[in-house]
Structures are given as C-alpha cells and as structure tokens.
Amino acid sequence: MTDIELLKVSLKNSMEVYRTVMEKQAEGIVQIATKLGDILENGGTVYLCGNGGSAADAQHVAAEFVGRFLRERRALPAQALTVNTSIITAIGNDYDFSQVFSRQVKAMVTPKDALVGISTSGKSGNVIEAIKEAKSIGALTVAFTGFPGEPLAGMSDFSFRAPTQETPRIQEVHIAAWHGVCDIIERRVHEKETGNLSGQGRGHHRGSQLPLAS
C-alpha cells in the first residue's frame, strides 16, 4: 500500500464513522448539549477529565467554553482537571494515580455542576473513580467513549459512544461531537444575550466577523 492509499483508507474510515454518528447519534449529542447548557445557565461549572489524548480534549473543550467557539458572548465556567501538575503529582504520589481526578472532584464539584469523563476505551480507572465521586455528590455525569465504552458509559447519566474501536477515529469524532455541543450551547447563550431568537446560521452572528484564532 502506498502512502497516498494509506491516507485515503484513513480518511474513508473517518468518513464512515462520521456518517454513522450523523445518521444515528445526532439526537444524543444534542441532548448532551442541552443538559450541559442547563448546567451553565443555572450557574454551574463543567469539569472535564481524561488521560493522554483525552486529557488534551478536556483542555480543548474547557478552552472553547471559557474563551469562545464562534460567537462573542459571556465566558462560560469550565475546567479541565488535567492541568495542575502539582495537584496531579501530589495525589498520585501520596494516594494513587487512580485518585488524581476523584480527589479534585471531592474538593471542587457541587450538585449544580457537571463532570465529563473522556476515555476512548471506557475503562480508564481514574476517570471511572471521578465519575463515581461526582455521582455520589449529585452532579450531572457525562461520558465520551468508544464502543462499547463500558463500564464508563453505562455508569454515567449521559454518554456519547463513538461507533468504532479504533482509537484515532474515536478521538476525531469526539472532537467533532464536542464542537457540535459547543456550537449549540454558544448559540443558546448568544441568543439570550442579544435577544436574537431568529435561529439564523452562524454566518449572521457577530462572532463570524471576529478575527480567526491563530
């Protein structure tokens, strides 16, 4: 197989995953966006956690909420539990790596908040422990996994299970789904702030005229 053939196979596989999500899982993504939007509207914070590439996704999503996605609007409270290396290494050293997120959940998460656990396998021990702790507090819990995504997906209040077991494809569609969630929530906030309830596309919003991020 040549390099170009390899690339085309990769792109084809990605397109097939995207098509499945678009045809069968769009409603579930909208439901997650609605629930997280409710949390933010009612003064809660969205916390996110994951390992490796999923840690990067957690930070990416938090940045979209706190900064902006496409439209100018108020900053939305979101925090990735993967960024404070002193906390993570202290907990990992003094307790156990399985507790690096759950200990933070105990310290910061309240019943009005949401915790999102991201794990391509659905088996990441420290993410599972964090979701357990968030549920005991009474916070909303959301899982982003691959397929089948157990046990994480099944123990969370809501879940998006990427319809594949191939890690790169899971990561790609996770970000696509998250961009959809951010778009939906941001439009909701923007419309309430501006009184623009016309449902117009993003091209009619002020944010589309802002300079592109580098």
Q: In whole angstroms, how large is the CA radius of gyration of the chain?
A: 18
Distance of alpha carbon 110 from alpha carbon 28, whole angstroms: 25
Distance of alpha carbon 205 from alpha carbon 108, whole angstroms: 34
Q: Of 119, 209, 102, 128, whose CA–CA distance to 171 is shortest?
A: 119
Classified by CATH at the fold level, domain 24-191 comes out as Rossmann fold (3.40.50)
Question: What percent of the residues of the chain are helix, what percent strand, and what percent coil, each to the nearest 5?
Answer: 60, 10, 30
Tell me the pLDDT tens digit for each residue of 93-136.
999 999 999 999 999 999 999 999 999 999 999 999 999 999 99
Q: How, if at all, do strands 114-119 and 140-145 pair?
A: parallel
What is the pTM for the complete model shown?
0.91
Distance of alpha carbon 135 from alpha carbon 147, whole angstroms: 22
Residue 196 pLDDT: 79
Supply φ then ψ for residue 172, to 5 degrees. Answer: -65, -45
Q: Of 101, 105, 60, whose CA–CA distance to 82 is shortest?
A: 101
Question: pLDDT grade, residue 198 (50/70/90)?
Answer: low
Tell me the pLDDT tens digit for each residue of 144-179.
999 999 999 999 999 999 999 999 999 999 999 999
pLDDT of residue 214 exceeding 50, the answer is no
In a 13 Å sphere around the CA of 4, the CA atoms on its Cβ side amount to 0
At 23, the amino acid letter reads: E
Task: Please spell the DSSP secondary structure of 90-117, one letter per residue.
Answer: HHHHHT-GGGTTHHHHHHH--TT-EEEE
